[in-house]
Amino acid sequence: MLHFTGPEVLKECITRSDKEIGGYSTVSLDWDPQEKAAHFHGNLSLDLPPSRPEVQRSGYAMFRTRDPPKNFLDEETYWDWQTLSHVALRVKGDRRKYFVNIQSKTALPTEIHQHRLFLYNPGEWEVAVIPINQFLLTHWGRVESLQEIEKDKVRTIGIGLLDRRYGPFSLYVDWIKAISDDEAERYIAEGRARAAKSTNPELLLEKRVAEARKKEMEL
């Protein structure tokens, strides 16, 4: 879906932030020649716009793929993931709480499916693997229902930050793709080996949460 092999790939994405509602967060998606990857970065602010009293909450930044073009009949087009089971991302991030966002055909255009992007080795490259059926349908950051993604009606994918914390953020992204069970098992095995070396209490807790979720899916 995305492989940032050069700066030209950045044109396939758009960035958004709370500046759309008068907020003060900044966001950029640049090409980093040293890492040879895209760099999603900026500064998150929770300050509310004084001239917009109707805005009660602020503080988000994100990027996503552009809407797919319509076909020759002027109909919407989609990615078809019916034979795939997981989303995988090769990333290098900090300790902020990022989410993977997937937009599919839903009742409201502002509804998206989200899942936490767990990073076990901040500051190092790693591959995160997320079962597609574990994404939750949300509306403006709040869980709406347990409705699963229509895997043959996927429109966009991206990464967002809305952890309610002031300050800078930095996440490098090499690629994002939808994969099969076999590919997922390989990446998961590699990730377990790396995560087992971590001694950070926060990361160990997140690892236990992720493992518990995996066991639940196996029952």
93-111 per-position pLDDT tens digit? 999 999 999 999 887 778 9
| Inter-residue contact 151 to 132 (CB < 8 Å) | yes
How far apart (Å, rounded) are the C-alpha atoms in residues 161 and 138?
A: 14
3-state secondary structure of 184: helix
Q: Any idea which of 59-68, 176-185, 205-214 has the lowest mean pLDDT?
A: 205-214
Looking at 72-217, which runs of residues are DSSP E strands?
86-93, 98-104, 111-117, 126-131, 136-139, 142-145, 154-161, 167-179
Q: Which pLDDT value is given to residue 192?
A: 77
- Short-list 27, 10, 24, CA closest to 173: 10
SS3 content of the chain, % helix, strand, coil (to 5): 20, 40, 40
Q: Tell me the β-bridge partners of 177.
A: 88
DSSP symbol at 79:
B
**Average pLDDT of span 68-82:** 90
Instruction: Note the pTM of the prediction, 2 decimals.
Output: 0.85
pLDDT: which is higher, 218 or 91? 91
Q: What is the CA radius of gyration of the chain?
A: 17
Please give the average per-residue pLDDT across 51-73, as a whole number. 91
Q: Would you state the pLDDT for residue 203?
A: 56
Over range 104-119, report the average pLDDT: 88
Residue 163: CB partners within 8 Å, gap ≥ 6? Answer: 44, 96, 97, 98
As a whole number, mean pLDDT of residues 141-167 equals 89
Which segment of 3-12, 48-57, 136-145, 181-190 scores lowest on mean pLDDT? 136-145
- Which pLDDT score is estimated for 143? 82
Give the residue, 193 or 24, on which the prediction is more confident.
Answer: 24
